A and B are shown apart, each in its own frame.
Chain A
């Protein structure tokens, strides 16, 4: 028994070394990528230890303070409010983005005229190239309360007799999130279709031909062929984006104001305000970073696990 186990291990070992030799060209190819990965990502990651230190630019040596940075963070009521805002805003936004981008990609795919298709694509990518500052300016203009009947939105709502006088929408707690979702969709939906369009073009025409021979209508073809073929890409994009949900910053920063802090303040804007005047507290900001990473890790792992349960494999 012991003997066979040993020889088994031996042959495994041999197999591994044989495999390593077989794959040696791959390792050579991979080396430059690995070097960049280590230099720019793994060396800086050593800096995570600073979350346990009191560390600002002026202290000659960082002072070990245990979990005090985390405690300061967790003690603040505003931080927890910001945390829940972050989750709500970015997860709702992520779900909306998946629905809209996939839907529009499918509809674009149905445009028969090649030139029209090109034109539509080019136009809906445009807003992506405007910076958030500019987008915020455009939305402020549309939602303005200035002049007789205010901006575009107020004028229309007054004409429809839904409101009597212009409403200062950007400071309305009930409206702010909706405005933010719309601004995000306006700016990024078109851009989000790119990856799905690329995936759609990758689906074999044979599949559709076979379905047509079977007498499946267009709608059935979309439902039974296109969407299942896209599922892999949809899941990958969803899970990858889930890793970024804690990082929402600029879009909120340029659109929020003190009247709507309750519904708009996210972790990044909160720490930005705290960091702005409190000096450069690198220990504290590293602690915030770790907190965000842990939450992302939980979200991504959960999604990956669920995807594994349902589809037999996760994306990672």
Chain B
């Protein structure tokens, strides 16, 4: 009988499976041990021993689809060729990145280098998970020291005043968001760039008259889920910050929600929402919904990342509406009442379990910001060919001019391998010319923004913050959509989150 054979096969298969799993188990334990026990190489530079292998866990490495051009393997090979070090790059899925980083710490297979956003960086350093690189940085004489823009390094120094320590090195600028509008609509309606809040509201009101415009301004939620909390709606928040911040006049930390500026901001948001100027579905929108509405001509104004995203929005727009060669996606300078905000840079940290942290610092971090071959490798990738048959690299030298290759980059848009070229923190001559739209929106952003500091944190704070975030988000949405009055709403927040506010203020002001 046929079934008979199938079932016997099944039993054998289960047995084999068990056996093979035990066999491989032994092999991998040795592998795990090797990770934590990196032997050192004999060759030294600057008296620093060269690590034999570096394991990185990254979140924002080149986009997945580019790996068929060789992607990260080519980069690792090239790095090995140049430095003699084995580089292993783990790229967990974006949504699970921090879960996986935590898992790696909990299970003991800690990578040597991890990438940390500014919300997580201070927490990890407080737990002692990161290597203190202050001395290594300060005593270094590497070429990087002369070309680096120190403000970004300083942004990552945390700790008590006078003794701030560096637990991570900036990968690139933190970047921030800028307001994009439909340039063609502005031309059609005869609107000039809005200078102040009234102009801005005026513009939105005119957008409203356009057929099929569901939302003059679209946004996903009235408050961002992490610092800077007010970044997507700066035209309405102005200088009000719904989070805790250091008040220079009072010389202490205050809760932004209880400040008078916040009430004014909420009033502006509420009025605009009532008039239908802000997306009616803001509460349930996802960022993808917003992009989609903007691209398909159902929204006129949308605050999103400056730089490379300008180009992507433009491309999507021209694919959809067939309106090319026009200034359809137009980045705006902020209105006079406010400025854009720049996040602190993303940190590249060396874990404290690493055997030769100084080696990793020298051969990976300094090397990748050297303004030369290292920076080229980590920014634009590997020299090679990509002619449809052969795909060996990301850029090539065409009669003395260095150009990015198709597949890796769509026409004109220069994409990153690891560091975004337009967000570099060093002064170097990038041989690949950047796209003018990317440069333009980055320039507008930089000229009109200020950088927020890395948030201060403590154990009690991280325990209290989620509950507070929940109440704050709920109250702000209720106020803006008109379910609650402004004063009632703020009062509700102050009562329901009283305990958390107290814990956080005590922790900040101690």
Contacts and interface: CB of A to CB of B under 8 A. Distances in A.
Interface of A: 29, 32, 35-36, 56-59, 76, 78, 140, 144-147, 168, 170-171, 257-259, 261, 273-280, 282
Contacts of B462: 277-279
Given A56-B127, A258-B470, A277-B469, A171 B284 contact: yes
Contact of B467 (A59, A76, A168): A76
Interface in B462-498: 462-463, 465-467, 469-470, 473-474, 477-478, 481, 483
A144 B281 contact: yes
A78 B129 CA distance: 32
B152 interface: no
B298 interface: yes
B102 A57 contact: yes
Contacts of A29: 11
A25 to B, nearest CB: 12
B106 A35 contact: no
Nearest to A143: B284
Nearest to B298: A146
A259 B102 contact: no
**Interface of B, helix, strand, loop or mixed by DSSP:** helix
Contacts of A274: 466-467
Most buried by B among A57, A147, A258, A274: A258
Contacts, number: 91
Interface in B1-53: 11, 14-15, 18
A257 B215 CA distance: 20
B499 to A, nearest CB: 10
Contacts of B214: 146-147
A261 B477 CA distance: 12
Contacts of A58: 105, 124, 127-129
Contacts of B469: 273, 277
Nearest to A262: B474
Contacts of B281: 140, 144-146, 168
Contact of B284 (A147, A170, A280): A170
Contacts of A36: 18
Contacts of B119: 277
Interface of B: 11, 14-15, 18, 99, 102-106, 119, 123-124, 127-129, 212, 214-215, 221, 226, 280-281, 283-284, 289, 298, 462-463, 465-467, 469-470, 473-474, 477-478, 481, 483
A32 B467 CA distance: 46
Contact of A145 (B221, B280, B474): B280
B470 A78 contact: yes
A257 B103 CA distance: 29
B105 A57 contact: yes
Contacts of A32: 11, 14-15, 18
Contacts of B481: 168, 171, 259
B106 A140 contact: no
B123 A258 contact: no
B311 to A, nearest CB: 26
A261 B127 contact: no
